[in-house]
Every structure is written in structure tokens, then in C-alpha cells.
């Protein structure tokens, strides 16, 4: 600061020549080069939120965590799981006749079918219709109770065994056990009923076919006996002998294949007849399923909502009137309710028939689909029988031409033998069905569901962890979100990004003597503060934008951002270095502070000078400080905007520069008071202050935009309130040693 020397009061200050730039307004014509757009929530934002709000967020997080845990614990209802055990055999058990195991996937499909059947409306419909089961707590809150029960019933295999657990969880252990047992009972009743009906129908049809074939065999035997007698052969002996010789004939294998194909054809024919009988049988439709379909219809819901609305209005009107029956509105609502109920009942009756027809048609379509599938198999089997028959007859004619009439008699015996074989196979099939009727069940119950005594979990640990974790994090998230919205300025780069101006200085936090704080620490902190003020003064004098700066206005975007402290200490630093007093003017006529700082009267002051009530010299208090003379704000009855709009503020600055080398003006905040723009335009330059962790980025941007539109020349910005530790970390500490009396 050797360039600042003692000069006569009427001489102008000479500063080192600096090239002037085009950046003499608050915001340059282009935004700051290289400035990045807002990056959203950054690690610095999170750290600032924790640093600024931890005194509030930590207690709030602990309280919310305790509250969330208490709420979850209070609302927690322990759930009990009732479990029944069944066994589903992949291979059907038998007594004497082993089933065909050619298709290994058939057993797995059977198991999957049984699992799905346990959750099918055919089983659950009768379960839900029971009054005690419908009151299951988990079902009462659902409109479609069958679907809700189907979703809650779980079927799980026990390892890789044939055992399966049927499980249901509920807050009522007795209801859970009763429901599982009811599902099991309904399932086994349906299974036994279907199997018994199909088996009995199949046996009856096979017996009918067996009788028909027996009559055919009797006719064949009579014809064969007559042919044998006409040929001069003994009847029974011939038949046995020739029959045995024919079995050893080369076409015997073809006859066997034809026999098997014919037996399969007859069995398929019987199965089709059984399936066709099932198609014609009436469909058992559960009323509850129909009701749920009706309740889910959009038109039914609309009419029910309309009816509920009419009833609510009817109740409200009747409650307010002493004699509601004489009220026109009340009677009209009665008519509306009656009419809507009639429309709803008629529509439900009409829809009920449609729903029943639809359900019946769907089930009949499923039955007809099964019949169609069997018919396709029968068609394939019929084609196979025809092919075998043609081949058999072709070979038969070839052998007959070679062997003459004797072979004809042999083939007649062979035809009889084949018919007897087919009848025997059909008879064996019927006997097998009758015998295996008493075979062990393929699906059977291992254990009924018992009332569970212990809940699935004594405490809802997962819910507690989720709720308490979310509650603990919530205050911190709110703090981070608030800091993201507030965009507080906590570092010089934030200030530069939001103001697009150079940061000409960082001011260390003003020291405050606390109980228990050593005097040496206070002295070191004071040295850092004074050094930061001196560094600001040096940067201002040497700044390329300073030029012939003599009147400097100090402002901020909002209040409580340290502009008064910066203006006061800057004036002292300049006066102390220049060895001449600096004039400090309180330009904040709304909320003046300098008269309290220097303990001088509030008036006469700037307001009296601008209104013409006193001269310039009368408003200057020279006894305020050795290096600072102060002009307080003063008081005036005139409008503040009128005082500054008269142009006398510029005359005041001209008069002040005749008597002082430097004039520092403490102005009101830019966003709160428009007169700061007038003061800034009349001054040689303006310094914008920002308080660390207090100033907001959006407010700084607005303030700079207003200054730019007013044509105010900006010198730069200063970050105030920087902690001493952070200041020394980034700038280092190279202060002069302090000597105090009494300390060696």
C-alpha cells in the first residue's frame, strides 16, 4: 500500500494507472466465461446442509425416528400362518394294473393342475360363501373376496418331495386354520366327485361295448361252425387246432396291431361319450361368483354411487327439517331413490342372467374343447385302424389265393380270435377300472391345519427399519432440499457464479470474546480479520476496474449480510494507511446503524443535507474516530425517494471529495430499497457484500441484474463472515507477532 500517501485534503488521490475495461457495470455484457450451469444437488450442497442444520436436523431426526418406530409398533398386528400338508403323487398308485407311464410329463402336468385347482373359484367359491370364513380380516377389505383369497393362499413344495404345504397368513390364527381346512375340504370333495363320476361312466360304457362285442362273437362262432361242418371237419377240435396254427402265421403280428388299434378306438369312443354326457350336464355356478361379477360392473357401480348420493342428500335434508315430508326437495329425493333402486334391481336381474349364461358358456366351451380334443385323437386312431385293416385284408387275400379254401377257414377262425381278443381287452379295461377304484388316492391329506400359536415375527423388524430409517433421513433430506432451493453462498466460486463478478476479497469472521477463550486466540483472530480488511483495501486500489475511485458505495442484496461492518472497517483501514481521515456516510435512511457503532447522535445527517436543512460540514462528526469521520443518516419527514431523486446526492459526493480523499457509503440493500441504485449510480463504484451461509444465490443474481439496468459501476464482490480456520486454510497465516504487556 505504498502507493497511498498523505496528501492535502483538496488534492485528488493518485493511484497506479490501470487499463480500463468494459466491465464497469454490475453484470458484464456476457456471463462469466466458463461458468457452469447449476449442477443440482452436489456433495457441497449436502455438506453445507449438514453443517448449517445439524443442530436442528439431528434432534428432529431422533424424534421422528422414535415417533415412526412407535407408530409402526402401535399399528403392528402379528400375523399367524396356518399350514396344511398334502401329498400329490406324480405317478398314479395302483393295485394290480400299472398305468401307462409313456409320457413322463403327464405326471408333472397333473401336479400343476392340482395346485391351480386349489386356488380356483370352483374350490374357493364354496369356501368364501361360508359366513364364518367371509369374516377373515384379510378378506373384509377387498371387494372381490375370491380373488383376494386366491392371492393369499400359497402352495409350496417341501424340498424335492411329493409333499406340498397349503399356507395362509392372517392376524386371526383360528380363522386362518379354519380357512385352510375349508379349502382342503372343498378341494377333496370336488376331486372325489369328479373322479367318481368319470370312472363310473367309463365302466358303464365299457360294459355296454363288451356286451355288444359278445353278441358279435356268438354270431361269428355259429358261422364258423357251419363252415367247418360243410368242409367235413370236426367243430371244436378244428377250431382250436387251426386257431393255434394261425397264430403262428406271419400276418399274426399285423393282426395284433390291428387288435390294439381297435381297442384304443373303442376306449376313445367311450371317453368321448363320457365327455359328451358332461357337456349336457348342468353347470354348477357359485352365486358368490355371480355377485362379485355384478358388483364389478361399471354401470352397477355408477347406479350404486348415485343411489348412495341420493340417500346422503336425503339424510342431510331430513336432518335439517322438522317436517321433512312436507318439503319438495325431500319428496323429490324419495322419488329419485325409489326410481334408482328400481333401475338398479332391473339392471342387476338382467345382468345376472347374462353373467350366468357367460359363465355357463365358458365352462361348456371348456368341456366341448375337451370333447374336440378326444375326437381328434379318435380320428387319428380311426385312420390307423383303416390302414391296418386294408393291409390285413390285402395280405389275407394273397394268402388265400395261395392256400385255397382251407386258408379261408383259417382266417375266419383268426377273425373270431381277434374279436375275442378285443373283447377280452375291453373287459380287462373295465375290470382294471373297477379294481383300481379301491387303489390309494393319488392326492391325499397328510395333516390338517392347526391353530398357530406363535406369530411369524414377534416384532416387525423390516417395517421398523424402513420406517425409522426413512424418518431419520427425512429431516436431512429436507435440509438438503431447502439448501438446494436457497442456493446459499458458502464459497467464493459460488459468489462468482451467481454474480458473474470478480471476488475482490474474503473477510474473516469478526472475533467475539467468549468465556474461557484465551486472549492470544482472540488477538490472532483479530489479526486475521484486520489482515482480510487490509487485503480487500489493497485489491480495491489495485483493481483494473477501480480507475479514479474516490466514492465507494458498499451494498448487499438483502439485509444482515455484513455490509455495515465491511464499510466501517474498510474506512478505518484506508484512513489508517493514508494517515488521513476517511469519510463514512450512512446512506441507509430506513434502518441506520453507524450512529450506534460510533455512539454519535443520529442527526444532523445525510437526510438534513439532502433536504437543505443543514450544510455538509454540519453533518460530519469528526470526533467519531481518529481515522474515520462519520455522517449519520439523519431523519426527515420527506419521502426517501424524493430526497434521492432530487440529484442532491451527487452534489453531496462532490462536496465530500473536496474535503476527503476517500468516501465510503453504507447503502441499504438493493432488493429492499431502490435508493441504493441512485446512490450507486452517483458514486464512483459499488462493492457488493455477501455473507457466507446467509446470502442466497438467486437474490445475488437479482441484485446484480438491477444494478446492471441502473448503470451502476461495480468494482466486485466480497465474501464476508469466512471462518478463521477456513480463511487460514485457503490463504495461509502470515501475521505480525503480537506483543502484550506482562507477557514475556
pLDDT at residue 518 greater than cutoff 50: no
Number of other residues whose CB lies within 10 A of the CB of residue 288: 19
336 occurs within a structural domain? no
Q: Residue 287's pLDDT is what?
A: 64
Query: What are the distances in angstroms from CA 56 to CA 46, 63, 70, 483, 694?
Result: 15, 11, 21, 14, 17
Measured in whole angstroms, the distance separating CA 399 from the mean position of its chain's CA atoms is: 82
644 occurs within a structural domain? yes
Residues 713 and 584 in one domain: yes
- Is residue 687 packed enough to be buried (19+ CB in 10 Å), middle (13-18) or exposed (0-12)? buried
Contacts (Cβ under 8 Å, ≥6 apart) of 604? 613, 614, 618, 619, 634
353 occurs within a structural domain? no
Under a CB-based contact definition with an 8 Å cutoff, are residues 103 and 198 in contact?
no
Among candidate residues 450, 445, 446, the one with its CA nearest the CA of residue 177:
450
Joined together, the cell numbers standing for residue 740 give 502484550
pLDDT at residue 63 greater than cutoff 90: yes
pLDDT tens-digit map of 6-54: 333 333 333 333 333 334 444 333 343 444 445 567 777 788 778 778 8
Q: DSSP state, 696?
A: B
How far apart are the C-alpha atoms of 267 and 206, rounded to whole Å?
Answer: 8
Of the ranges 75-89, 451-465, 466-480, 541-555, which one carries the lowest mean pLDDT score? Answer: 541-555
Total domains in the fold of the chain: 2
Residues 431 and 560 in one domain: no
pLDDT classification of 65: cutoffs 50, 70, 90: very high
Residues 436 and 567 in one domain: no
pLDDT classification of 554: cutoffs 50, 70, 90: very high
Range of the domain at 176: 80-282+382-447
How far apart are the C-alpha atoms of 183 and 473, rounded to whole Å?
Answer: 45
Cis geometry, peptide bond prior to residue 58 (ω within 30 degrees of 0): no
Mean pLDDT of the chain: 78
Residues 240 and 98 in one domain: yes
* Residues 64, 65, 70: CA angle, nearest 5 degrees: 95
DSSP lists the bridge partners of residue 506 as: 719
338 occurs within a structural domain? no
- Provide the pairing of β-strand 551-556 with 663-666: parallel
Under a CB-based contact definition with an 8 Å cutoff, are residues 605 and 638 in contact?
no
- Provide the pairing of β-strand 714-722 with 503-508: parallel
Under a CB-based contact definition with an 8 Å cutoff, are residues 682 and 602 in contact?
no
Give whichever of 274-278, 388-392, 427-431, 603-607 has the largest mean pLDDT: 603-607
Q: Residue 29's pLDDT is what?
A: 36
Phi, psi (rounded to 5 degrees) for 504: -90, -5
Strand arrangement of the beta sheet that strand 443-447 belongs to: 154-157, 163-170, 80-88, 443-447
How far apart are the C-alpha atoms of 174 and 451, rounded to whole Å?
Answer: 5
**CATH number for the domain including 517?**
3.40.50.300
Q: What percent of the chain has a predicted confidence (pLDDT) above 90? A: 8
Residues 534 and 587 in one domain: yes
Under a CB-based contact definition with an 8 Å cutoff, are residues 317 and 333 in contact?
yes
Residues 553 and 639 in one domain: yes
Select the more confidently predicted residue: 29 or 253: 253
36 occurs within a structural domain? no
* Residues 16, 19, 24: CA angle, nearest 5 degrees: 110
How far apart are the C-alpha atoms of 588 and 672, rounded to whole Å?
Answer: 11
Under a CB-based contact definition with an 8 Å cutoff, are residues 503 and 535 in contact?
no
For 441-448, what is the mean pLDDT? 88
How far apart are the C-alpha atoms of 450 and 166, rounded to whole Å?
Answer: 12
Under a CB-based contact definition with an 8 Å cutoff, are residues 579 and 608 in contact?
no
Select the more confidently predicted residue: 728 or 192: 192
- Is residue 535 packed enough to be buried (19+ CB in 10 Å), middle (13-18) or exposed (0-12)? middle
Among candidate residues 728, 715, 614, 546, the one with its CA nearest the CA of residue 17:
546
Residues 222 and 117 in one domain: yes
124 occurs within a structural domain? yes
Q: Which helix (H) or strand (E) holds 61?
A: helix 43-75
Looking up cell 377373515 gives 136
- Note the residue count of the chain: 744
Select the more confidently predicted residue: 134 or 236: 134
Strand arrangement of the beta sheet that strand 582-586 belongs to: 503-508, 714-722, 685-691, 551-556, 663-666, 582-586, 628-631
Residues 407 and 524 in one domain: no
717 occurs within a structural domain? yes
What string of DSSP letters covers 182-225?
A: HHHHHHHHHHHHHHHHHHHHHHHHHHHHHHHHHHHHHHHHHHHH
393 occurs within a structural domain? yes
For 571-589, what is the mean pLDDT? 88
pLDDT at residue 253 greater than cutoff 50: yes
Residues 587 and 495 in one domain: yes
Residues 443 and 495 in one domain: no
Under a CB-based contact definition with an 8 Å cutoff, are residues 552 and 662 in contact?
yes
In this structure, is the dihedral angle defined by the CA atoms of residues 409, 411, 416 and 421, taken in order, positive or negative?
positive
Joined together, the cell numbers standing for residue 676 give 441504493
What string of DSSP letters covers 434-487?
A: HHHTTSPPSEEEEE------S-S-SS-HHHHHHHHHHHHHHHHHHHHHHHHHHT
Joined together, the cell numbers standing for residue 137 give 380380516
Amino acid at each position: 500500500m505504498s502507493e497511498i500517501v498523505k496528501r492535502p485534503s483538496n488534492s485528488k488521490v493518485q493511484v497506479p494507472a490501470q487499463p480500463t475495461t468494459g466491465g464497469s457495470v454490475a453484470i458484464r455484457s456476457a456471463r462469466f466465461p466458463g461458468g457452469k450451469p447449476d449442477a443440482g444437488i452436489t456433495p457441497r450442497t449436502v455438506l453445507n446442509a449438514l453443517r448449517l442444520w445439524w443442530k436442528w436436523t439431528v434432534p428432529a431426526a431422533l424424534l421422528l425416528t422414535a415417533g415412526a418406530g412407535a407408530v409402526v409398533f402401535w399399528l403392528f398386528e402379528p400375523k399367524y400362518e396356518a399350514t396344511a400338508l398334502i401329498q400329490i403323487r406324480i405317478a398314479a398308485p395302483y393295485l394290480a394294473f400299472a398305468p401307462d407311464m409313456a409320457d413322463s410329463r403327464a405326471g408333472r402336468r397333473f401336479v400343476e393342475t392340482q395346485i391351480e385347482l386349489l386356488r380356483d373359484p370352483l374350490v374357493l367359491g364354496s369356501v368364501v360363501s361360508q359366513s364364518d370364513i367371509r369374516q377373515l380380516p384379510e378378506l373384509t377389505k377387498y371387494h372381490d373376496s375370491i380373488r383376494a383369497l386366491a392371492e393369499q393362499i400359497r402352495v409350496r413344495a417341501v424340498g424335492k418331495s411329493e409333499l406340498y404345504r397349503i399356507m395362509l397368513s392372517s392376524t386371526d390364527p383360528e380363522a386362518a386354520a379354519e380357512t385352510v381346512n375349508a379349502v382342503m375340504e372343498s378341494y377333496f370333495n370336488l376331486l372325489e366327485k369328479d373322479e367318481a363320476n368319470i370312472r363310473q361312466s367309463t365302466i358303464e360304457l365299457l360294459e355296454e361295448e363288451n356286451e355288444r362285442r359278445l353278441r358279435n362273437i356268438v354270431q361269428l362262432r355259429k358261422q364258423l361252425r357251419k363252415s367247418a361242418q360243410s368242409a367235413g371237419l370236426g367243430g371244436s377240435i378244428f377250431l382250436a387246432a387251426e386257431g393255434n396254427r394261425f397264430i403262428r402265421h406271419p400276418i399274426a403280428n399285423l393282426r395284433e396291431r390291428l387288435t390294439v388299434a381297435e381297442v384304443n378306438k373303442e376306449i376313445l369312443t367311450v371317453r368321448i361319450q363320457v365327455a359328451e354326457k358332461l357337456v349336457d350336464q348342468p353347470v354348477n355356478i357359485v352365486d358368490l361368483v355371480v355377485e362379485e361379477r355384478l358388483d364389478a360392473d361399471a354401470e352397477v357401480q355408477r347406479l350404486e354411487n348415485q343411489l348412495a348420493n341420493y340417500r346422503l342428500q336425503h339424510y342431510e335434508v331430513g336432518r335439517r327439517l322438522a317436517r321433512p315430508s312436507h318439503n319438495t326437495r325431500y319428496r323429490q329425493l324419495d322419488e329419485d331413490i325409489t326410481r334408482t333402486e328400481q333401475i338398479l334391481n332391473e339392471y342387476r336381474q338382467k345382468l345376472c342372467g347374462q353373467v350366468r349364461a357367460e359363465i355357463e358358456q365358458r365352462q361348456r366351451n371348456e368341456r366341448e374343447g375337451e370333447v374336440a380334443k378326444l375326437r381328434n385323437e379318435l380320428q387319428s386312431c380311426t385312420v390307423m385302424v383303416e390302414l391296418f385293416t386294408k393291409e390285413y385284408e390285402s395280405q389275407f387275400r394273397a394268402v388265400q389265393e395261395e392256400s385255397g379254401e382251407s386258408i379261408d377257414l383259417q382266417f375266419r377262425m383268426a377273425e373270431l380270435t381277434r374279436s375275442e381278443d378285443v373283447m377280452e381287452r375291453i373287459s380287462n379295461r373295465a375290470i382294471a377300472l373297477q379294481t383300481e377304484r379301491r387303489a390309494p388316492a393319488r392326492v391325499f391329506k397328510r395333516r390338517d391345519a392347526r391353530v398357530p400359536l406363535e406369530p411369524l415375527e414377534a416384532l416387525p423388524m423390516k417395517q421398523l427399519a424402513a420406517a425409522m430409517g426413512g424418518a431419520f433421513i427425512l429431516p436431512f433430506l429436507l435440509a438438503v432440499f431447502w439448501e438446494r432451493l436457497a442456493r446459499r453462498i458458502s464459497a467464493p466460486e459460488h459468489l462468482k457464479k451467481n454474480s458473474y463478478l470478480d471476488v475482490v476479497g474474503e473477510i474473516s469472521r469478526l472475533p467475539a470474546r467468549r468465556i474461557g477463550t484465551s486472549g492470544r486466540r482472540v488477538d490472532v483472530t483479530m489479526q486475521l480479520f484486520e489482515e482480510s480488511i487490509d487485503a480487500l483495501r489493497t485489491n480495491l486500489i489495485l483493481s483494473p476496474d477501480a480507475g479514479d475511485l474516490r466514492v465507494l458505495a458498499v451494498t448487499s442484496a438483502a439485509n444482515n449480510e455484513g455490509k455495515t461492518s465491511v464499510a466501517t472497517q474498510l474506512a478505518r483501514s484506508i484512513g489508517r494507511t493514508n494517515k488521513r481521515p476517511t469519510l463514512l456516510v450512512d446512506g441507509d435512511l430506513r434502518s441506520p446503524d453507524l450512529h450506534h457503532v460510533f455512539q454519535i447522535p443520529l442527526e444532523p445527517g445525510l437526510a438534513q443535507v439532502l433536504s437543505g436543512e443543514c450544510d455538509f460540514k454540519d453533518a460530519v462528526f469528526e470526533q467519531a474516530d481518529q481515522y474515520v469521520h462519520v455522517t449519520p443518516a439523519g431523519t426527515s419527514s420527506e419521502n426517501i425517494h424524493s430526497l434521492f431523486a432530487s440529484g442532491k446526492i451527487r452534489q453531496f459526493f462532490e462536496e465530500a471529495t473536496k474535503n476527503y480523499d476517500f468516501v465510503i457509503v453504507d447503502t441499504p440493500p438493493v432488493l429492499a430499497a431502490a435508493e441504493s441504485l441512485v446512490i450507486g449510480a452517483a458514486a464512483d463504484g459499488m462493492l457488493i457484500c455477501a455473507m457466507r451461509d446467509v446470502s442466497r444465490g438467486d437474490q445475488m443474481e437479482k441484485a446484480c441484474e438491477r444494478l446492471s439496468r441502473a448503470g451502476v459501476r461495480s468494482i466486485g464482490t466480497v465474501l464476508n463472515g469466512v471462518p478463521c480456520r477456513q480463511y487460514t486454510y485457503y490463504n495461509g497465516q502470515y501475521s505480525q507477532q503480537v506483543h502484550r504487556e506482562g507477557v514475556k
